[in-house]
Each structure stands twice: as structure tokens, then as C-alpha cells.
Amino acid sequence: MESSGPSVGDVVTVSAVRSTVGQKTLMAVSGILLVLFLVAHMIGNLKVFVGAGSFDHYAHWLRAIGAPLLPHSGYLWIQRAVLTAALVAHVWAATALALRARAARPVGYAHRRPVQGSYAARTMRWGGVIILLFAIYHVLDLTTGHLNPVGDRAHPYGNVVADFAPERWYVTLFYTLAVLAVGFHLRHGLFSAVRTLGQRTAAGEQRARLVALLASVGLCAGYLSVPFAVMVGLVG
């Protein structure tokens, strides 16, 4: 009676993006793409522990992927395009669903609801906004270098070290909060994405929740290790 579940690729042909289920599918797929990027990005970040040469080499290598078939930085621009599209889709679907949710309850409850769902689940929307703001800052800081104290695009290692210098503790603090927000966002988001794509057993739900938790903790740990290593002088 059961046929095989839908694969992620099927979603592209969903004609019903206007439906609530279609919109959350869009969120799930775009969210998963963004998470895959986060994983790759984190692995790259960890090269900072190998040393300046390795880290800078990695950054340059990213621009050389696909050569000579692709022009310099070609792959990177493809990836940026995909990520931007995913981000736009993610934010668009989130906004559409949020507006819909607001319209669905014109009169709120006088008595505030006590907590039932998880903190992560209830903070998806504002958490998402924080993450978005951070992402913009982060690009201006470490990609374009505009907001970085050094801003030397040829030597990203130096940019990172300068960024998280102990006297710039507020940058580290903002970075930490943003990474924790990502963690919370993914703890519910990953589970939710899997559910949206058709996960439908109790055991599977437990697995999905566990994976979401481990992924969130792992990403948080990976991302936070860099600034704290810089701060305590482990990397410098």
C-alpha cells in the first residue's frame, strides 16, 4: 500500500506552492540547502586550527574550484546564487506563513498561553530575523571586508584574528548570540523540515529530533570554537 516517499527533488515541480503545505515544503528544502552550506562552511572554518597558511589556502582554493572549466570564483558565484535563492525562498515562505498565521487569529487570547511547545519552536520567527541580520553583517565583515578592522581579502586568517581580538569582545558576543540562535533555529527547523517532507512515524520523529539536536550542538560548537580560540589566544 505504501509507495516510496517523495524525494527532495520532487518538490521543485510542486504546483501548489501557494498552499500552506507547499510553502512549508519550500521552507524545508531551502532550509536544508542552507544547512548543508553551514556544515561545509564550518568544516572550512576549522582549518583555522591548522594554521594561517592552510586557512588562507582553503579560501583561495574555493575560488579555484572548477578551473579551468569555470572562470576564477565561478563556482563560488554559483554557490552564492543558489544560497541567495534559497534564502529568498526561505524568507518569502516564512513571511507568507507568518502573515497567514497572523490573519488566522485576528483576536488574541487575553490569557497568555503557558509554555507547551519547545522554546526553539516558539522562537523560529524572531530567531530567523536575528540570524538574517547577522548574516548580512557577517558578509560585510568577513566576505567583503567592509566592516572588518583589517579587511585584507587576500589574507582571511588575519581578518578573523583581528575580528575576534579580546578588545572587540562585543563582536564575539554578537557572533556567539547569532550562532546560538542558529542552533535553536535548527533544533526545531531540522526536525520540522524532515516532518514537512513526509516523516511520519513515532520512531522516526525521535530520530529526527535527536539528529536535529546533535546537528545544532555540533554546528554551535564548531562555529564557536573559532572566536573563542582567537580570544584566548589559541589562534593568533
Partner 1 sequence: MNLTLRIWRQNGPDAKGRLVAYRVTDVSPDMSFLEVLDMLNERLTMEGAEPVAFDHDCREGICGACGVVINGVAHGPEKATTTCQLHMRHFRDGDTIDVEPWRARAFPVVKDLVVDRGALDRVIEAGGYVSAPTGSAPDAHALPVPKADADAAFEAATCIGCGACVAACPNGSAMLFTAAKVTHLGRLPQGQPERQSRVLDMVAAHDDAGFGGCTNTGECTAVCPKGIPLETIGQLNRDYLQASRRPARSRS
Residue ranges binding partner 1 (CB under 8 A): 1, 3, 5-6, 10-11, 13-16, 19-25, 97, 100-101, 103-114, 116-118, 121-122, 124, 188, 191-192, 195-202, 204-205
Q: How far is the CB of 67 from partner 1 (least distance, A)?
A: 38
CA quadruple 112, 115, 119, 125: dihedral, nearest 10: -30
Identify which of residues 78 and 99 has a Cβ nearer to partner 1 in the complex: 99
The nearest distance, CB 137 to partner 1, in angstroms, is: 26
The nearest distance, CB 91 to partner 1, in angstroms, is 15
CB nearer to partner 1: pick between 47 and 187? 187
| Shortest spacing between CB 102 and partner 1, in angstroms | 8
- Of residues 44 and 205, the one with the C-beta less far from partner 1: 205
Three-class DSSP category at 29:
helix
Kindly report whether the peptide bond that precedes residue 68 is cis, defined as omega within 30 degrees of 0: yes
d(CA 4, CA 198): 11
Residue closer to partner 1 (CB basis): 24 or 47: 24
The residue among 63 and 207 lying less far from partner 1, judged by its C-beta, is 207
CB 119 within 8 A of CB 125: no
DSSP 61-104: HHHHTTTTTSPTTHHHHHHHHHHHHHHHHHHHHHHHHHHHHHHH
Residue (32 or 124) nearer to partner 1, CB: 124
Judge whether 143 and 135 are in contact, CB under 8 Å: no
> In Å, how far are 107, 119, 188 from 115, measured between CA atoms?
20, 8, 15
Q: Residue 215 CB, nearest distance to partner 1 (Å)? A: 16
Q: For the CB of residue 34, give the shortest distance to partner 1 in the complex, in Å.
A: 17
